[in-house]
Amino acid sequence: MGREMRKIFVVGSINMDLVARLVSLPQKGETVLAESFFCNPGGKGANQAVAIAKLGGNVKMIGKVGTDGYGQRMVQNLANFGVDTACVGQVEGESGMAFIGIVGCDNSIIVLSNANDTLGKDDIDQGLWGAQPGDILVTQLETPLAMVEYALQVAKQKGMQTILNPAPAQKNLGSVLPLVDILVPNETETEILTGIYPVDEVHTVLAIKKLYQYGVGKVIITLGANGSVCSEGQTLTYIDGIKTNAVDTTSAGDTYIGAVATKLAEGMPILDACNYATVAASITVTRKGASGSIPTKQEVEQKIKERQSNNKEL
């Protein structure tokens, strides 16, 4: 008998994504025509919770939605994927929204927090009430920073493992970072946090060293199509990206983080979890949308089998 899977708690944003596909982003004073438009549930917190659920994790979402037409739709979307939504609260007003412009396979995002900004200590206390030592907290920076810090404090008091995706990146996270066991920034977020862009191995080492000085336990830097780098103490390991025909990178990072959390909850070593997450994210970028583009556990396992078979044939 293997040990029981740890529960994962996600404290974070729940947004409705309003997505326009464009030939180019508008310049100052310019109007451009969209090639297509669609809306679907998103938000970094919600996307990461969905990724965990679809990849086989036991996950509870802690967040807020509004009383507009989007709120209940987003809660139902989470529940449909198997996320525990008992601690998703509803407040009078508008739900969080994200306006996303997609050019090629790259995206630019404007976030309007709305209901996400009302997340309070009582919500976090209630949501984390049943958490046990060894359970995992995943959080980001699309909810108030004070509440992110509070959630991390509560999690550490309970003996939980903490994962922070510092997005959208903010400077001056001094009191937050010592509470983080695993920090997962991308290249741009790494530069904002450290002043160092991880353009090569030397700069990556310098950036990670600085993050360690801030008090972070371990660091995973996602590098887009180039893969990721995982740092445990003095050990730095590059994980190559998987070549694929990318059409939309919107939820790739959220898929990666959700996959890492899920595999850590199963007891998998962090480096193996990063390799698994790389495969999961490589599937996400081949599909449009947010939560709907995230693969299932079965899809990732099939992709891994195909890659292993192809490697044996070489």
For the segment 175-205, what is each residue's pLDDT rounded down to a tens digit? Answer: 999 999 999 999 999 999 999 999 999 999 9
Q: How confident is the model at residue 137 (pLDDT cuts 50, 70, 90)?
A: very high
Residue 29 has pLDDT above 90, yes or no: yes
Residue 155 has pLDDT above 90, yes or no: yes
Q: How confident is the model at residue 308 (pLDDT cuts 50, 70, 90)?
A: confident
Would you state the pLDDT for residue 313? Answer: 61
What percent of the chain is modeled with pLDDT above 90? 81
Instruction: Compute CA distances 98 → 18, 20, 35, 86, 112, whole Å.
Output: 6, 11, 18, 24, 6
Would you state the pLDDT for residue 53? Answer: 98
| Residue among 17, 123, 135, 254 flagged as catalytic | 254
- CB neighbour burial string for 32-69, b if at least 16 within 10 angstroms, e if fewer: eeeeeeebbbbbbbbbbbbbbbbbbbbbbbbbbbbebe
Sign (positive or negative) of CA dihedral 280, 248, 183, 150: negative
Is 125 catalytic? The answer is no
Residue 1 has pLDDT above 60, yes or no: no
User: If you write DSSP's letter for every residue of 117-129 in order, what string do you get?
Assistant: GG--HHHHHHHTT
> In angstroms, rounded to a whole number, what is the distance separating the alpha carbons of residues 134 and 170?
28
CATH architecture of 8-13+44-69+81-90+117-309: 3-Layer(aba) Sandwich (3.40)
Would you state the pLDDT for residue 166? Answer: 97
| 3-state secondary structure at position 154 | helix
pTM, 2 dp: 0.93
Are 22 and 101 a contacting pair, CB within 8 Å? yes
Q: How confident is the model at residue 108 (pLDDT cuts 50, 70, 90)?
A: confident
Domain coordinates in residue numbering, the chain: 8-13+44-69+81-90+117-309
Would you state the pLDDT for residue 70? Answer: 96
Residue 2 has pLDDT above 50, yes or no: no
> In angstroms, rounded to a whole number, what is the distance separating the alpha carbons of residues 250 and 136?
24
> In angstroms, rounded to a whole number, what is the distance separating the alpha carbons of residues 114 and 288?
25
Would you state the pLDDT for residue 3? Answer: 58
Query: Half-sphere exposure of residue 245, counting CA atoms within 13 Å on the CB side?
Result: 0
Phi, psi (deg, nearest 5) at residue 77: -60, -45
Predicted confidence (pLDDT) per residue in 46-87, tens digit: 999 999 999 999 999 999 999 998 999 999 999 999 999 999
Are 274 and 221 a contacting pair, CB within 8 Å? no
Kindly state the average pLDDT of the residues 152-156: 98
Are 118 and 79 a contacting pair, CB within 8 Å? no
User: What residue type is assigned to position 18 of the chain?
Assistant: L
Residue of 50, 52, 33, 32 whose CA lies nearest to 41:
50
> In angstroms, rounded to a whole number, what is the distance separating the alpha carbons of residues 300 and 138?
21
Would you state the pLDDT for residue 140? Answer: 97
User: If you write DSSP's letter for every residue of 178-222 in order, what string do you get?
Assistant: GG-SEE--BHHHHHHHHS----SHHHHHHHHHHHHHTT-SEEEEE
Are 175 and 146 a contacting pair, CB within 8 Å? no
User: Omega before 168 cis (within 30°)?
Assistant: yes
Return mean pLDDT, the chain: 94
